[in-house]
Structure 1
Amino acid sequence: MSTKGKFESTRRRLSEQQAETVDRLTTAAVTVLRTNGFSGLTVRMVATEAGVAAATAYTYFSSKSHLVAEVFWRRLNALPHETPADGDSVERVCDVLRQVALLVSDEPELAAAVTTAMMGDDPDVEHLRIRIGREIRARLSEALGPRHDPDVLEALEIAWSGALVRAGMGYESYAQIAERLETTAKLIMAGQRKA
């Protein structure tokens, strides 16, 4: 990742020192979530945990939903983006969906918070939702191959977003959702030419 992209925020470009502050805040958010859950999380608590002033935290994050959505975006963005040359398109798509579904699977408080945060109406969350959606679309598109059916891509995106909601509602764990997404992807892609 270029230095320019490393310091990009949802609100503005960041200097190295500002990026370090944002890193501390996002790390602290996960710590606070583990003990207090999303309902008990406040930006002020996260600022205290990170050792920064609350006013400073609010210059970077407009709400707790914005902060949690940023944590998810950073984790997604950190996932390797290389599509393996081996395997067919079904295997590649299943791999992408599994990686995304398991991104927060070992942290139940964060997983639940991500779903809640992503549904928020904060404009900064909306911006992140768009970025996250574009990133997942790009990964799925790459996994499908250059001559994929746009309807298949859209169905896979809908399956992913539906799975996020289903996990957030507590119907299944993110690990179970990863398995369901693989089955769903295979059903959606049944009969597709293996690229």
Structure 2
Amino acid sequence: MSEPTPAGVEATRRRLTEKQADTVDRLTASAVAVLSREGYSGTTIRLVAATAGVGTATAYTYFSSKEHLISEVFWRRLTASAPVRIDGAGPTDRVVVVLRQIALLVADEPALAGAISNALLGDDPDVKHLRVRIGSEIRRRLAEALGSNDRERLDMLELLYYGAMLRSGMGYLSYAEGADLLEMCVKRMLA
């Protein structure tokens, strides 16, 4: 289920009042419910809005497309998950923990996980904006875990993560298998 956000948190498109933040929270929670019931292709902004008890026009005030809404759900999940800290661990173990946490963020919700893969590949400008924010947050967490801003290593780690998530989103791997594969690759790469 979508995590509620504090009132006034900056959304993708603008700052929100408490009432607006509540509406967005209801829409994101409803999106998860509709996705689990209808699947990606059956999910529409109209259906999500009806489930949330708001008008379709109101939903479009906050989200430009189904892909934007689903991307926002992932962004909220990511930012709500505090990075796991391992005291005394080396960079390899810290990177593995970060990648595993992010890779398994929605693993227990297959409809949502698959929808996120589809949504983040969209060309909606609001989705592009969220992709940058999501990518920046993942890179920040990886750099912190790695203990450096080594661009080459960060690029390789990102490539590993996005490749594993794309394969999982396409159904070639489960998200747990993707996380295991990431762990193996990171251990070899950073050995």
User: Into which bin does the TM-score normalised by the smaller protein fall?
Assistant: over 0.9
State the match for 2:124 in structure 1: 122
Distance 1:178 1:76 in 2: 16
- Give the alignment's TM-score, normalised by structure 2: 0.94
Map residues 51-90 of structure 1 onto 2, 5 A cutoff.
51-81=53-83, 83-90=85-92
Deviation of 1:82 (Å): 5.5
State the match for 2:153 in structure 1: 152
- Give the alignment's TM-score, normalised by structure 1: 0.92
In 2, are the aligned partners of 1:83 and 1:142 still within 8 Å (CA)? Answer: no
Deviation of 1:3 (Å): 5.8
RMSD, matched Cα: 1.5
State the match for 2:94 in structure 1: 92
State the match for 1:110 in structure 2: 112
Distance 2:42 2:76 in 1: 22
Unaligned 5+ segments in structure 1 are 191-195
Letter in 2 for 1:80: A
Letter in 1 for 2:139: R
Distance 2:123 2:78 in 1: 21
Matched positions, count: 187
Distance 2:58 2:156 in 1: 41
State the match for 2:183 in structure 1: 182
In 2, are the aligned partners of 1:73 and 1:128 still within 8 Å (CA)? Answer: yes
State the match for 1:193 in structure 2: none
Deviation of 1:163 (Å): 1.2
In 1, are the aligned partners of 2:84 and 2:97 still within 8 Å (CA)? Answer: no
Distance 2:88 2:69 in 1: 37
Distance 1:8 1:132 in 2: 14
Deviation of 1:175 (Å): 1.1
Q: 1:143 aligns with which of 125, 142, 145?
A: 145
In 2, are the aligned partners of 1:97 and 1:181 still within 8 Å (CA)? Answer: yes
Deviation of 1:150 (Å): 1.9
Unaligned 5+ segments in structure 2 are none
Measured against aligned partners, the alpha-carbon deviations of 1:164-187 in whole angstroms (never above 9, x if no partner) come to 211111101111111111111112
Distance 2:107 2:21 in 1: 26
State the match for 1:49 in structure 2: 51
Distance 1:41 1:67 in 2: 11
